[in-house]
Amino acid sequence: MADERRTDYGPPHYEKFLPPIIKENYGKWKYHELLKPGVMVHVSESGAKLFTVRAGSPRLMSVDKIRMYADLADKYCGGYLRFTSRHNVEFLLTEQSNIDPLIDDLKKIGHPVGGIANSISAIVHTQGWIHCHSAATDASGVVKAVMDDLYEYFTETKLPGKLRIALACCLNMCGAVHCSDIAILGIHRRPPKVDHENLYKMCEIPNVSASCPTAAIRPATVDGKASVEVDEDRCMFCANCFTVCPAMPLADPLNDGVSIWVGGKVSNARHEPMFSKLAIPFLPNNPPRWPEVTSAIRKLVELWASNARKYERMGEWIERIGWPKFFQMSGIEFQKEHIDDFKHAGLTFKRSTHLTF
Amino acid sequence: MADALPKTPMLDELEKGGWPSFVTEIKLAAEKNPMGKDLLGLLERSYKEKIGHWKHGGIVGVMGYGGGVIGRYNDLPEEYPNISHFHTMRINQPAGWFYTSEALRGICDIWEKRGSGLTNMHGSTGDIILLGTSTDQLEPTFQDLAKIDFDIGGSGSDVRTPSCCCGMARCEWACYDTMAACYDFTMTYQDELHRPAFPYKFKFKFSGCPNDCVASIARSDMSIIGTWRDEIQIDKDAVKEYADSGMDIDSDVVGNCPGKCMAWDGKELKINDKFCVHCMHCINAMPKALRPGKDRGATILIGSKAPIVEGALLSSVLIPFIKMEPPYQEIKDLVDKMWDLWCEEGKNRERIGEFIQRIGLGNFLDEIEVDPIPEMVAHPRENPYVFYEDYYEDEDEDDEEGDDE
Ligand code: SF4
Ligand code: SF4
Ligand code: SF4
Ligand code: SF4
C-alpha cells in the first residue's frame, strides 16, 4: 500500500537547525558588540561567544548561489546559517579566526558584508516585473541600482542611526514600506482602461464596483455588454479594482513610476512607530538604472546623515526640525499631492502657530 | 551554442556595481534551465517597454491545500513558452530562518529538478519562495518537499505563514521565546493556514522586544511583542565603563528617553521604572550595562496592515502584558473569539483592523469580552458624538418612588 498522503505537518522544527552553541546558550545571551561593520559577537552568561557575519543578498537567488552559501557554512560554521527579515544571510561562527577568511570568500562570490548598526541594511522589496501582475515599476532593478549607489553605507557604519529602506512595486505593499525611513513605492497615475469586451466574462460586476474605496465604479452597459464605468475624477489609482478584476488594468508605461516616502519607523526605540510620509510624489520609471530615483535617495540619505543627531532616525529628525524645514533643506517642491485628502485628512493639517522661519 | 542566453543589454547594466546582482542569479539559473532563459528575455522586454507581462493567477495548487501556490501566467506565451506558466510556491520557513547546509541543499536539489531554480530567500511574509514552475510540477514538488519535511505556507484569505525574530536563539533582549511561540501557533493553525476561509488574510508576527525586528506592529493582524513589567536591570560597573570610555550618557541615553524617567549625575544612573515606556533605547545604547527586567512577557496588539483597501494601519494595544507560556491558551481563546466575530460579520477583503475601524473598537471589545482600558488608546475621544447605550425612562423613576408602597 502506498503511504497515506501527508498534509499539514508544518515547517520542520527549528531546533534541528540550531548550531550546538545556540542550543547550549539559548536564552542565556548576555550582551553583544559590533566588532566591525557586518560582524558582531554575542556573549553568553557562560562566556561562550557566537560570531555573526552578515552579508547582503539580492533576495532573488539561484539554487547555485544558495549552494555556495551552504558550502561556506560547511567550511566555516559547521554547516549552520540563517537569513534575516531583510533578506541578508548570516553565518554563525564559533571560531573568531574564521571571520576574515569567510569575509574574503564572500567577497569572491560578490557578497558585501555589513548592514548592522548605524548603516543601511538590505532593502526589503517585492517582485516587480519579474513575477507580479500589478507592478507599477520593477523591484529588483530599482533596488540593485539604489544599493549600488548606497553601497558604502551598507559596508560602513558612518550614519547617525539606522536607515531602513523598502520598496513595493504597487500599493498592495508586500513589505513594510509604509513604516520605513525611506520608502520607494510604485504608482499608477492613469485610471483603469476598462476592457468592455471581456469584463463580463471575467469579473462579477457587483464585486468590481464594491472594490473601489472611493465609489468611482458604476455598473454600465457598453456596446450592449454588461460592464462598468469609472468616474475618473474620483480615481486615486489604488488598483483595488484590478486586484478583483483583470479587465481593469492600470499599468501604463507613460504614466507609471515611483513615489518616495520618508520618516517611518517600526521600532519602538525612543519615538513610537510612525508611518512614512510623502516626500516626492512622482519620479519616472527609467530602467535599467532609475537615475532619478537613485539620486533623489542619495540626497535624502546625505541630508539626514549630515543633519541628524546621534540615534535620530529620519522621522525623528524631521519631527524635530519640522516639515517646512525639511522641504526647504531638501529643495523638494511642496505640491498639492502632499496634502492628504483621504479619511481623517484633517488630522494631518497644521493646527497651531508652532512654526519656524 | 544553440542554447545561448538572449541578448539583454539593459539587464546587463544591472550586473555592474557593488551590490550582488539578481540578473547574475537569473543567468546562473538560465544556464541549466530554459525557464531562466525566457525569464531573462521577458524581463528585458519589460525594461524596454516599461510594463510588466504577467497576468492574474488562476486557481492552481496541490491536493488538499487551498493556498500556498500563486498562479502566474505571462501574456506572451508564444514568445516565452518556457514560462507560460510560472507559478510560485510558498514554503513555510523554519522559525527564525535558521538552516543547516544540508536542509538548504535538499530544497535546492528539488527546485533544480522541479522548477526554475530561482528563489526568494525570503518573501515579504517570511516564506521560502520557490519562484516559477509549471502546473504539472506543483504536486511532485510538494511530494518531494514532504520527504524532507518542508510544508506549504499560506496565501489568499487564510492565516499567513507566521514569522518571528531569532529571539532567544541569538538575542539577549528576547523577553519571550519567539521561535517556540511562532512554531506553536503555526502548528495549532495548520488548517486555517492551508485552507482559506476568512474574509481576508490574517498574519501573526512575533518579536522578542519592542525593537520589533520583524515589523510586527506594522505588518501583522496580531502583533506579539516582548516586553517586561519590572525594573530594568542595571549593572553599575558597566555603566561606569561606558562613562569612562567617553559615552555622553546624559545626552545619548537620558536625553533620548521618551519616558523622561532617567537621571545621570555623573556617577549613578537612576531609572524611575514606573514611568518607563519600555522603548528599548537605553538598553540598545548600553547593552552591557542595561537589560530588560526579569518579569517578562509580551504586549499583544492588533490590526496593522498596508493601505489596501481602506488605508494603512498600525497595530494597537489589546493586552498590555501577558506571560508567554505554552500552550498560550489565553491568547488562542481570544484569537478564536476574534475570528468567529470577524468571519461572521467581516466583509469580503476586510482585514480585522479595518473591521474594527468599521464597527468601533469599543463594540469589538464587547463582542470578544475584553474590558476597555486606557492603555488601548493614545487619548480618550475628542468628539462628543458618543453612542451612549443606556438611558432611563420616566417610568423607571416612578417605579423607584413607588417602592415605598
Ligand atoms: S507590491 Fe504589488 S506589484 Fe509588487 S509584488 Fe506586491 S502585489 Fe505585486
Ligand atoms: S484604481 Fe482604485 S480608485 Fe481607481 S477605480 Fe480602481 S478601485 Fe477605484
Ligand atoms: S525584536 Fe528584540 S529580541 Fe527580537 S531580535 Fe530584535 S532586538 Fe532581539
Ligand atoms: S526603556 Fe526607554 S523609556 Fe524606559 S528607561 Fe530606557 S529609554 Fe527610558
In angstroms, rounded to a whole number, what is the distance separating the alpha carbons of residues B57 and B68? 12
User: How confident is the model at residue A4, as a pLDDT?
Assistant: 73
Range scoring the smallest mean pLDDT among A333-337, B209-213, B311-315: B311-315
Q: Is the CB of A127 inside a 6 Å radius of any atom of ligand 1?
A: yes
Contacts of A97 (CB under 8 A, 6+ apart): none
The answer to whether B172 contacts A60, with C-beta atoms less than 8 Å apart, is no
Residue with cell 500556498: B68
Q: Is-contact A156 A120, C-beta < 8 A?
A: no
Q: Measure CA of the first residue to CA of the last residue in chain B; give whole Å.
A: 109
pLDDT in tens, B323-336: 999 999 999 999 99
B3: nearest Cα among B25, B26, B36:
B36
- Closest partner residue to A61 among B121, B148, B194, by Cβ? B121
User: How confident is the model at residue B84, as a pLDDT?
Assistant: 96
Residues of chain B with pLDDT > 70, as a percent, come to: 97
Chain A residues in contact with B36 by the CB 8 A cut-off are 62
Q: Which three cell numbers stand for residue B249?
A: 550618557
3-state secondary structure A219-280: EEEECCEEEEEECHHHCCCCCHHHHHCCCCCCCCCCCCEEEEEECCECCCCCCCCECCEEEE
For residue A103, pLDDT beyond 50: yes
Binning pLDDT at 50, 70 and 90, where does residue B403 land? low
3-state SS, residue A104: helix
What ipTM was assigned to the predicted interfaces of this complex?
A: 0.95
Distance B374 CA to ligand 4 centre (A): 20
Binning pLDDT at 50, 70 and 90, where does residue B1 land? very low
In angstroms, rounded to a whole number, what is the distance separating the alpha carbons of residues A115 and A88? 8
Q: Is-contact B386 B333, C-beta < 8 A?
A: no
What is chain A's alpha carbon radius of gyration, rounded to the nearest angstrom? 24
Q: Is the CB of B279 inside a 6 Å radius of any atom of ligand 4?
A: yes
Q: Give yes or no for a cis peptide into A146 (omega within 30° of 0).
A: no
pTM, two decimals, is: 0.96
Q: Is the CB of B57 inside a 6 Å radius of any atom of ligand 4?
A: no
Work out how many CB contacts closer than 8 A connect A with B.
349
In terms of Cβ atoms closer than 10 Å to its own Cβ (0-12, 13-18, 19+), residue A357 is exposed
Q: Measure CA of the first residue to CA of the last residue in chain A; give whole Å.
A: 82
Distance B61 CA to ligand 2 centre (A): 29
Question: Best substitution site from A134, A188, A203, A217 to test ligand 2's pocket, by max atoms within 8 Å of Cβ?
Answer: A217
CA distance A311 to chain B (A): 8
Residue with cell 558597566: B238
Contacts of A341 (CB under 8 A, 6+ apart): none
User: How confident is the model at residue B39, as a pLDDT?
Assistant: 98
The answer to whether B103 contacts A18, with C-beta atoms less than 8 Å apart, is no
The answer to whether A58 contacts B22, with C-beta atoms less than 8 Å apart, is yes
Chain B residues in contact with A269 by the CB 8 A cut-off are 210-211, 279-281, 284
In angstroms, rounded to a whole number, what is the distance separating the alpha carbons of residues B16 and A142? 13
Chain A residues in contact with B107 by the CB 8 A cut-off are 63, 66
In angstroms, rounded to a whole number, what is the distance separating the alpha carbons of residues B227 and B321? 8
Contacts of A303 (CB under 8 A, 6+ apart): A329, A330
* Nearest-CA residue for atom 6 of ligand 3: B213
Alpha helices, DSSP H only, in B227-383? Answer: 236-244, 281-285, 329-345, 352-359, 361-368
Q: At CA B167, angle to CA A144 and CA A85, rounded to 5?
A: 15
